[in-house]
Amino acid sequence: MKILRIVADCDPAKGGVIEGVIRLGDAFRSMGHTQDVLTLDGPGDPWVQDSAENVFAEGKTIAPKRFYPAKAIRWLRANVRNYDFVIVDGLWNSATLAAARVLPSTGVPYAVFPHGMLDPWFRELQPAKEWIKRQVFRVNERRLLRGANAVLFTSEQERLLARDSWPGWTGISEKVVGFGTGEPPPETPSMRPAFQSAVPDVAGRPYLLFLSRIHRKKGCEVLLKALAKQADLANWQVVIAGPGEASYVAELKNLGEALGLSGRLHWPGMLTDDAKWGALYGCEAMALTSHQENFGVVVAEALACGRPVLISDQVNIHAAVTHGRAGWVCADNPDSAAEALRNLMAHSPAERAATGARGRSVFEQEFTMRRVAERIIALFADKQNG
């Protein structure tokens, strides 16, 4: 099959949506299918030039204050019938507007992957945008969702949160297909030195790893306050790696200093390639105490690398971690996270290794992207056969 993905942009610093697009594309290709990507990036953007995907970058418009995706709409009308099916990734952006203007009337099968963007938690984070989102949902998003062959959810929890939170949720076909990530590269001798080069002060010492976009929803302040409540950190260090808004990162650094943690905290920025995988393979555990997390690709990556995880119960895959005894789950508050940290540190290295090994089994059973790709292909194959 020939598949088209529609996503706002393919900048890897923007978080997990584009990472999911890429990894699911890898899985499709391994099954003999092809994937193209339509974005609203400019064709000269470096992440477009460097992308391994076949990207059609149809920027919004020349005028910087206008957001109507005229070029993408024209491209879709001219080309969408060349594809067997389309997946729209994400909501609330100009790419969604382009998809809603074209896809429902073409007869080309399509699905929408909200990637958690219908979660009501965002109302608490951005209450001023709530009224605007409800109007946009009424005139654009709902039309796109109702016209889709399926709205794809990563978990039953995500599906229920979405349908219970938006007015007029009728005539929408829902499908839980799960989510995952690709198989990590096998550990090589170059990986840990690459990480140590990025974070030299951690060399030879045990460390807890946060590896994600540094954003308020990720609960970094919960992790820092929990660490401050942990009386005996022994020699453990804490690596907080990822891109983030400079003012928020500065706020977190100031909090760490006020809590007396600054000597243990390390902020290497975004880690990629060998440095990223070296960080994962070498950590004692990966921590993600998020306030909201639809899936958590980095959680799946840590499990795939055989590392234990410490996550909040707002990460929608926490039940699989608990059931598989692959780590520690806490509420998204400092007291609960501190208790999880104490439990983590009370385990011996051998016990932590056994927890990581169970995590690898959870990854293989639940979170390989190949399984997700098979479910999506089966969905559209059924439509074609029907």
pLDDT in tens, 270-297: 999 999 999 999 999 999 999 988 888 8
Bigger pLDDT: 144 vs 230: 144
Give pLDDT, residue 385. 57
Handedness of CA 323, 118, 299, 206 (dihedral sign): negative
Q: How many CB atoms lie within 10 A of CB 126?
A: 11
> Same topology for domains 2-182+368-385 and 191-366, yes or no?
yes
Mean pLDDT of 26-47: 94
Give pLDDT, residue 3. 98
Residue 64, class by beta-carbon neighbours within 10 Å (0-12 exposed, 13-18 middle, 19+ buried)?
Answer: exposed
Q: Has residue 62 got a pLDDT over 60?
A: no
Task: Give the CA distances from residue 290 to residues 63, 217, 256, 337, in Å, rounded to whole numbers and listed in that order.
Answer: 37, 6, 17, 11
Give pLDDT, residue 65. 45
Q: Domain 2-182+368-385 falls in which CATH fold?
A: Rossmann fold (3.40.50)
Q: Which residues pair with 77 in a beta bridge?
A: none
Gap between the Cα atoms of 215 and 128, Å rounded: 18
The share of the chain scoring above pLDDT 90, in percent, equals: 73
Mean pLDDT of 311-328: 95
What letter does residue 202 receive in the DSSP assignment?
Answer: G
Give pLDDT, residue 117. 87
Give pLDDT, residue 139. 85
What letter does residue 184 receive in the DSSP assignment?
Answer: P
Computed over every residue of the chain, the mean pLDDT equals 91
Q: Has residue 52 got a pLDDT over 50?
A: yes
Q: Has residue 345 got a pLDDT over 80?
A: yes
Q: Does an H or E element contain 55, and which?
A: strand 54-57
Give pLDDT, residue 334. 97
Gap between the Cα atoms of 17 and 166, Å rounded: 22
What letter does residue 311 receive in the DSSP assignment?
Answer: E
Q: Has residue 227 got a pLDDT over 90?
A: yes
Give pLDDT, residue 174. 95
Give pLDDT, residue 7. 95
CATH ID of 191-366, from 3.40.50.970, 3.40.50.2000, 3.40.50.2300, 3.30.830.10: 3.40.50.2000
**pTM score, two decimals?**
0.81
Which of 95-99, 163-167, 286-290 is least confident? 163-167
Mean pLDDT of 166-194: 92
Give pLDDT, residue 17. 87
Domain boundaries, the chain: 2-182+368-385, 191-366
First to last CA, the chain: 16
Q: Does an H or E element contain 35, and which?
A: strand 34-39
Q: How many residues are given for the chain?
A: 386
Q: Has residue 109 got a pLDDT over 90?
A: yes
Give pLDDT, residue 31. 96
Mean pLDDT of 170-175: 93
Gap between the Cα atoms of 59 and 42, Å rounded: 5
Two tokens at 22?
């890429």
Give pLDDT, residue 61. 54
Residue 346 pLDDT class (50, 70, 90 cuts): very high
Give pLDDT, residue 134. 81
Residue 63 pLDDT class (50, 70, 90 cuts): very low
